[in-house]
Structures are given as structure tokens and as C-alpha cells.
């Protein structure tokens, strides 16, 4: 059994969809048991979310314009791909219904003047719910017996509407109950990425870019042999190709390397994609819809090769918060209190670093949270600040993290020296550094203005551009 997930560019228009259809038909030759997961057309989710937000602010024109654009893009694709008139008529009805649903929801948001997470979840999932029936129809047009299934019937999450957490047991039961009979009859289920529902059937979504995660969840539920992520690049590359044009595809990555890269900003995989696959050891392959014979990247538990630094990523829009003071030295519990105060703010800490002199603790958080976190720490340490045991709490904005990833870094001497050598040559100052205990990742906090040059110089210093 294989799960095939197609991203927004792979279904971005008639030509791309035709390519996707050809890939599904070809894969079916290798294994008749396949499940197709699709994203919304490129840009559609953004359009839906922007329209809903504009509606909440009283702007009704935005969703009316969006409605026209949605209908036009999907109809154009349907007309180019589906020649059977009855099929075309049916799909046109489905598309019309969905778009009317979008308009009604936005109208309700405009009347209420408020957009709840629950409302936004329904609206933002409509792109996948437009695309999946269209892709199923296009597949049938090519002789593949495809059948549309809404993933709201398959993936059960909690009620965090915009980034639902899957409940795997319930998901497994529903997915198997719904999809195994279809597969048994030789059908190809075509389902929506990104969308899910609570146990009571209230629509949720899995967070932006969550279709990759959908594919992995379904792969685990069905004990698939492989999860294929079809996108618009030749696999996971040594760096973001928009930043480093000479970046090259990596043949193989471990789950933890892929997870580190995704977590630190490599958009090609949603950071949670690896989780459902790890338990059952399901390999993930990242493949290029527009270069389908290229082997892409295999993400697996045990690598057959690979050493040293493999890839690097950059995550932007961060701030560095520092708690400093001579009085902190040897005082137990400062770190625990610091992170308890931060956790109470619901803030995600991306990196932590403590100087061995114990005179400061610094950590990196999203820029938008920095002021709130600093204020919470000043309150938490009010006593120590008054008694000058802690000098104070500072926050520095315009910070990025450059993450250097590779399992083979473990036990390879000289990596840090090479890293700092490359940065030193460019006169780039490292504000803080952290190395995870797994030694799969070295994270460097830098000033935002140095990010691009740092990534390029590290890429070159480690010869990642290849031959
Ligand atoms: P999809 O719509 O197929 O899910 P995404 O846009 O979410 O595709 O992810 C693919 C994009 O991720 C690529 O086009 C590329 O620009 C970007 N990207 C960033 N970092 C990397 C990386 N290290 N390797 C590959 N692609 C990357
Ligand atoms: N369409 C959703 C998004 O843009 C999910 C995805 O593409 O993976 O976030
Ligand atoms: Mg994506």
C-alpha cells in the first residue's frame, strides 16, 4: 500500500493536474493499493484565509472577488481535464456548492464581525474540499477508478480547530473502516489533505502545510509500505533553493534529520510528518511531480550512508530573551522558574543556551511573543531583580536561527571549528549557540541581516553544493 500526497503546485492548474494524474496511473502499475491525498490548488488556502479575515473586518468585496477567482480556477481546470460531459456537469455542481458554502460562511463572518478559530478552520479547509473531488474526476477521466472521500470522515482530532492533534486510535478505526472496503473493490480513494474533524464531526485543520501530515497519519492508520510526498523540487535539498541556488537534493535522511530540518524551517515537509511514520518504520519519499523519474529523497529510520553536515535551514522572525545576573551563579531552580514562566505564556521556545559560567540563560522565541515573555519574567523574578541577584531581562529582536543538521556530526571532530571559521571569515557574529543532545543539530542564533550570507557561507564551507 502506498500513500501519494500531492502539494499545491502539483495541482496548481490543468497542466500540473494532468502530470499528477499520470503519476497516479503509473504508481498504480507498481501497487494497486494506493490512496491519494491532495492539497488545495497553490495559493487557494491563502486566498480563503485572507477573505475570511477581511470579512471579519467588514470588507465584503474581498470574498466576492475570491469567489469568482475560485470558481474560475477550478472550472478552467475541470474543463481542460474532463471530457465526459456528464462527469463535467457533476463536478461543476460540486464546485458550485462548495463555493456557495464559502460565500455563506464569509457572509456570516461579516455579519457577526468576528472570526472564530472554528469558523476559520471550516473556511480554510475548503480549498482541499474543492480540489479532491476535481482530482478524483480527472483520474476517472484517465481510466483510474478514483473515488472522493472527505478526510473529515477519516482523521479524528481534538478541538484545537486550527492545528488539531490526531487521535490515532479513532483515526485508525475510521480510516480502515472507510477505505479498506474501497481498496478491496479496486478503487483509488482520493482524499483531502489538511482537513480533519473532531469525534463529533466539527471540522478542524492540521495547521498550515498540514497535508503532508495527513498523508503520514493515513499511512500509519493503513500500515502503508510507503508515504510519497510529491512536490515541486527534486526532494529535500541541502538548503532552501530560493536562498542557495546550488543546493542539491539529498538521497537519504533519517527521520530525526528530516524532523530537525522541517522544524527549523525547511518548508518541503510539515514538521509533524515524521511522527506517525516513526512508530511503524514507514519510509517517506519526497518526489518531484515535474521530474517524476528522479529518485528524490528517502526518509528512513536506518540510513545506509551519510556523514557530517547534511543540510541547513533558517528560521526567521525571532527574538533572543536573556535573563542575566551574577547572583544567578549556583542558585538552583532559576532555569526551572524561567521556563515555567515562559510556558505559562503559551510560547514556543525554539532554542535554549546557557553560558557555563551560569551568569545568564538565553533562549529564542517568536518575535511577536518577546515583549510578553520579558514582562512575565520580570514579574516572576521581581524579588531577585530588586535584590540585584538578577540584573534584569532583555530581549533582542531581528534574530534568526540557522540550524545545521546531520546525524553524522556526532563524533565528527572539527565541525564547530569549520562552522565558526566560515562565519568568522564573513565577520558574522554568533549571538548564541545550542547543540541538541542527539547531536543531529547545531543551532546558531544570528542577527537577521547576517542570515543569508551565513547560510551561503556555511553551505560552501561544508561543500554541500556537491560536485
Ligand atoms: P507543496 O505545495 O508541494 O507542499 P511547499 O511549497 O510546501 O510544497 O514545499 C516545497 C518548497 O519548499 C520548495 O519549492 C522550496 O522552495 C521550499 N524549500 C525550503 N527549504 C527546502 C529544502 N531544504 N529542500 C527542498 N525544498 C525546500
Ligand atoms: N493547503 C494547506 C496550506 O496551504 C495545506 C497544505 O498545502 O499542505 O496550508
Ligand atoms: Mg507543503
pLDDT tens digits along 109-167 = 999 999 999 999 999 999 999 999 999 999 999 999 999 999 999 999 999 999 999 99
Task: Kindly identify the ligand whose nearest atom is closest to the C-alpha of 45.
Answer: 2
Task: Kindly identify the ligand whose nearest atom is closest to the C-alpha of 267.
Answer: 1
- Which ligand 1 atom is at minimum distance from the Cα of 211? 4
Residue 412's pLDDT is what?
A: 77
- Give the pLDDT confidence of 30-72 residue by residue, as tens digits: 999 999 999 999 999 999 999 999 999 999 999 999 999 999 9
Query: Higher confidence at residue 192 or residue 411?
Result: 192
- Give the pLDDT confidence of 282-315 residue by residue, as tens digits: 999 999 999 999 999 999 998 776 668 999 999 9
Band the pLDDT of 436: cuts 50, 70, 90.
low
Band the pLDDT of 360: cuts 50, 70, 90.
confident
The mean per-residue pLDDT over the stretch 370-395 comes to: 93
Check pocket membership of 142 for ligand 2, CB cut-off 6 A: no
Enter the C-alpha cell of residue 156: 479524528
Task: Kindly identify the ligand whose nearest atom is closest to the C-alpha of 247.
Answer: 1
Quick check: 411 pLDDT over 90? no
Lowest mean pLDDT among 88-102, 104-118, 326-340, 373-387: 326-340
Ligand 2: centre distance to CA 8 (Å): 7
Band the pLDDT of 354: cuts 50, 70, 90.
confident
Quick check: 356 pLDDT over 70? no
Check pocket membership of 45 for ligand 2, CB cut-off 6 A: yes
Residue 415's pLDDT is what?
A: 87
The mean per-residue pLDDT over the stretch 308-324 comes to: 94
Query: Higher confidence at residue 254 or residue 325?
Result: 254
Residue 439's pLDDT is what?
A: 77
The 8 Å CB, 24+ separation contacts for 172-179 are 172/220, 172/221, 175/218, 175/221, 175/222, 176/221, 176/222, 178/149, 178/153, 178/154, 179/35, 179/149, 179/154, 179/218, 179/222
Ligand 2: centre distance to CA 10 (Å): 12
Task: Kindly identify the ligand whose nearest atom is closest to the C-alpha of 314.
Answer: 1
Residue 357's pLDDT is what?
A: 63
Q: For a pocket test of ligand 1, which of 209, 233, 238, 252 has the largest count of ligand atoms closer than 8 A to its C-beta?
A: 233
Q: Is 186 left (phi over 0), alpha (psi -120 to 50) or beta?
A: left
Helix or strand run (H / E) with residue 278: helix 274-280
| Sheet arrangement for strand 351-354 | 351-354, 360-366, 311-324, 392-405, 441-447, 430-435
Domains of the chain, each with CATH number or no CATH: 2-232 (3.40.1160.10), 311-461 (3.30.2130.10)
Ligand 1: centre distance to CA 264 (Å): 13
The mean per-residue pLDDT over the stretch 374-402 comes to: 93
Distances (CA, A) of 438 to 257, 340, 380, 434: 10, 24, 31, 12
Band the pLDDT of 244: cuts 50, 70, 90.
very high
Residue 333's pLDDT is what?
A: 83
- Pairwise CA distance, residues 313 & 55, whole Å: 36
Band the pLDDT of 327: cuts 50, 70, 90.
confident
Residue 438's pLDDT is what?
A: 67
Residue 353's pLDDT is what?
A: 85
Check pocket membership of 219 for ligand 2, CB cut-off 6 A: no
| Residue with CA closest to ligand 2 atom 2 | 209
- Pairwise CA distance, residues 252 & 30, whole Å: 22
3 state DSSP class of 315:
strand
Report the percentage of the chain scoring pLDDT > 90. 85
Residue 328's pLDDT is what?
A: 76
Band the pLDDT of 389: cuts 50, 70, 90.
confident
Q: For a pocket test of ligand 2, which of 7, 39, 124 has the largest count of ligand atoms closer than 8 A to its C-beta?
A: 39
Mean pLDDT of the chain: 94
Quick check: 467 pLDDT over 90? no
Residue 437's pLDDT is what?
A: 60
With CA atoms as reference, report the closest residue to 195 among 159, 150, 228, 158. Answer: 150
- Pairwise CA distance, residues 327 & 389, whole Å: 4
Residue 28's pLDDT is what?
A: 95
Check pocket membership of 267 for ligand 2, CB cut-off 6 A: no
Ligand 2: centre distance to CA 210 (Å): 6
The mean per-residue pLDDT over the stretch 86-95 comes to: 97
Amino acid at each position: 500500500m502506498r500513500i501519494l500526497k500531492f502539494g499545491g503546485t502539483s495541482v496548481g492548474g490543468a497542466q500540473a493536474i494532468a502530470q499528477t494524474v499520470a503519476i497516479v496511473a503509473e504508481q498504480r502499475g507498481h501497487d494497486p493499493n494506493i490512496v491519494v491525498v491532495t492539497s488545495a490548488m497553490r495559493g487557494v488556502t491563502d486566498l480563503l484565509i485572507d477573505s475570511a479575515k477581511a470579512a471579519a473586518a467588514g470588507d465584503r468585496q474581498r470574498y466576492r472577488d475570491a469567489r469568482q477567482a475560485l470558481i474560475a480556477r477550478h472550472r478552467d481546470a475541470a474543463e481542460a481535464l474532463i471530457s465526459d460531459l456528464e462527469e463535467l456537469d457533476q463536478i461543476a455542481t460540486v464546485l458550485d456548492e462548495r463555493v456557495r458554502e464559502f460565500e455563506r460562511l464569509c457572509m456570516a463572518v461579516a455579519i457577526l464581525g468576528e472570526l472564530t478559530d472554528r469558523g476559520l478552520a471550516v473556511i480554510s479547509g475548503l480549498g482541499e474540499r474543492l480540489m479532491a473531488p476535481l482530482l478524483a474526476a480527472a483520474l476517472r477521466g484517465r481510466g483510474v477508478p478514483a473515488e472522493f472521500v472527505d478526510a473529515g470522515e477519516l482523521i479524528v482530532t481534538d478541538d484545537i480547530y486550527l492545528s488539531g492533534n490526531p487521535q490515532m486510535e479513532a483515526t485508525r478505526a475510521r480510516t480502515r473502516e472507510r477505505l479498506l472496503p474501497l481498496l478491496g473493490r479496486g478503487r483509488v480513494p482520493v482524499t483531502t489533505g489538511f482537513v480533519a474533524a473532531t469525534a463529533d464531526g466539527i471540522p478542524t485543520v492540521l495547521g498550515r502545510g498540514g497535508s503532508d501530515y495527513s498523508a503520514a497519519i493515513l499511512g500509519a492508520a493503513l500500515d502503508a509500505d510507503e508515504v510519497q510526498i510529491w512536490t515541486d523540487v527534486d526532494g529535500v535539498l541541502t538548503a532552501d533553493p530560493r536562498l542557495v541556488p546550488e543546493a542539491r537534493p539529498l538521497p537519504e535522511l533519517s527521520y530525526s534529520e528530516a524532523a530537525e530540518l522541517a522544524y527549523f524551517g525547511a518548508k518541503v515537509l510539515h514538521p509533524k510528518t515524521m511522527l506517525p511514520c516513526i512508530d511503524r518504520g514507514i519510509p517517506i519519499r519526497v518526489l518531484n511531480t515535474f521530474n517524476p523519474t528522479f529518485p528524490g529523497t528517502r526518509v528512513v529510520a536506518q540510513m545506509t550512508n551519510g556523514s557530517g553536515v547534511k543540510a541547513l535551514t533558517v528560521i526567521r522572525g525571532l527574538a533572543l530573551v536573556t535573563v542575566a545576573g551574577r547572583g544567578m551563579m549556583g542558585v538552583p531552580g532559576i532555569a526551572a522558574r524561567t521556563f515555567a514562566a515562559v510556558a505559562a505564556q503559551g510560547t514556543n521556545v525554539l532554542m535554549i543556551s546557557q553560558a557555563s559560567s551560569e551568569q545568564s540563560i538565553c533562549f529564542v522565541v517568536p518575535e511577536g511573543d518577546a515583549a510578553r515573555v520579558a514582562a512575565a519574567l520580570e514579574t516572576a523574578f521581581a524579588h531577585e531583580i530588586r535584590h540585584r541577584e538578577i540584573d534584569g531581562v532583555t530581549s533582542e529582536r531581528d534574530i534568526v536561527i540557522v540550524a545545521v543538521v546531520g546525524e553524522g556530526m556526532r563524533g565528527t571532530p572539527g565541525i564547530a571549528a569549520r562552522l565558526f571559521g566560515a562565519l568568522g571569515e564573513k565577520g558574522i557574529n554568533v549571538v548564541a549557540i545550542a547543540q541538541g543532545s542527539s547531536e543531529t543539530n547545531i543551532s546558531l542564533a544570528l542577527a537577521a541581516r547576517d542570515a543569508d550570507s551565513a547560510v551561503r557561507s556555511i553551505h560552501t564551507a561544508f561543500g554541500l553544493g556537491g560536485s
